[in-house]
Amino acid sequence: MAPIGIFTVLRNAVSVLFRNFGVALFIATFNGGLGAILADLATKWVYYYVHPVDKQAQLLTTQLTQLAVITTWGCTVGAWAAAASIYLWVQHVKQRPVSLYEAVNFGLNRLARILPAHAKAFFIVQLGMIVIVPGILFGLQYAFVDGIAALDEQEKNPLNRSRRLTSGRRGTLFRTFACFLPWWIPYQFALVWVLQGRGPGWQFAGGLMDSFVLILLDLCMVQFYLDLFRKPAPAPAAA
């Protein structure tokens, strides 16, 4: 049985997201929109109440504050959002309806298991993105961490297993990641700072959109992960 293709994965992810747009909107609002607002408030507090000796130091302090809040939020609330996003695919595979109540609880019930692995992978990728290339490599290695942590209760080390399972498949994963780079690179390295001076509404909109992209990415990665365990249909019995 041939591996699932990138186009099919992307089409499935978009279809599942828009079929369950209300639940996805709640996940994106709570994770991305609210996270962006909190990062903006923390940055403004530092800007107005912490007074470094010069403008450069002040700019560096505010940027580090925003980065710290975004990273902390992504490590914690982002873990819940990842599990809740994977729930959308689980229900799609089971051909069952999606509900907001079940999505929230699916994430909460798995939070203790997914949070340590998600937070470690997220932090390593964020750290690697300081010079970009290591961040991309780490992102490819840990692409299956959320799916493993959310769906495999027996696995004790999702990061190690993700590294093993993605080995030999990172070219496909990179091409899938590349589909999201036209949004992700401008947002992470420029737009997030531009929106900082535009008010909380713009910050909220940017975080919301970024979270939608992350939901799509989670929906793509869980498909690749589960596709590894497909088994060919048994041969028909001899006459």
In this structure, the chain runs to a length of 239
* pLDDT at residue 166 tops 50: yes
The rounded distance, in Å, linking the Cα atoms of 199 and 238 is 71
DSSP code string of 143-182: TTHHHHHHH-TT-S-HHHHHHHHHTTTHHHHHHHHHTTHH
SS (H, E, C) 19-47: HCHHHHHHHHHHHHHHHHHHHHHHHHHHH
pLDDT for the residue 239: 37
Q: What share of the chain is helix, strand, coil (3-state, %, to 5)?
A: 80, 0, 20
Integer-rounded Cα Rg, in Å, for the chain is 19
pLDDT for the residue 231: 47
pLDDT by residue (tens digit) across 184-215? Answer: 777 776 676 677 667 778 889 888 999 999 99
Matching residue, tokens 């509900």: 99
User: Is the separation of the CB atoms in 32 and 208 below 8 Å?
Assistant: yes
Report the predicted TM-score, pTM, of the whole model to 2 decimal places: 0.88
- Under the banding of pLDDT at 50, 70 and 90, the label for residue 40 is confident
